[in-house]
Amino acid sequence: MAYDRENIFAKILRGEIPCNKVYEDDHALAFHDINPQSPTHVLVIPKGAYVSNDDFTAKASDAELTGFFRAVGHVARALGVAEPGYRMIANTGVHGGQEVPHFHVHICAGRVLGGMIRPAG
């Protein structure tokens, strides 16, 4: 799948759409999800144009990969959710339920999140 430069997260990265920013560095931007599914629900996205985790892990440089995943851990610690814990979610593709075609990791936390996968529908 080709990267769509008009996807909503690309627009957020370009500053065309506002976001509630949590953290930013050379490799990542983190901001609150507009429709939170848990008391803390933050999205972390790489700055590069990658459609999904599949695309990112196949094409990104080692520096981008390292920088991004370090940023995810940093954001979780900065949010104060490393203890008692959180869930990282990277919905990937159609079966993964990915809606926005720019790779992103959800950090969901703030309550016991329960079972790993809920029924579709």
* Catalytic machinery residues: 104
| In contact, 30 and 75? CB cutoff 8 Å | yes
Helix, strand, coil percent values for the chain (each to nearest 5): 30, 20, 50
Q: Is 83 in the site for ligand 5GP (CB under 6 A)?
A: no
Query: 22, exposed or middle or buried, with CB in 10 Å at 0-12, 13-18, 19+?
Result: middle
The correct pick among 7, 88, 91, 110 for binding ligand 5GP (CB under 6 A) is 91
User: Could you give phi then psi for residue 11, rounded to 5 degrees?
Assistant: -70, -35
Q: Is 119 in the site for ligand 5GP (CB under 6 A)?
A: no
The correct pick among 6, 14, 35, 120 for binding ligand 5GP (CB under 6 A) is 35
Q: Is 19 in the site for ligand 5GP (CB under 6 A)?
A: yes
The correct pick among 6, 62, 83, 99 for binding ligand 5GP (CB under 6 A) is 99
| Residues in touch with ligand 5GP (CB under 6 A) | 8, 17, 19, 31, 33-35, 43, 91, 97-100
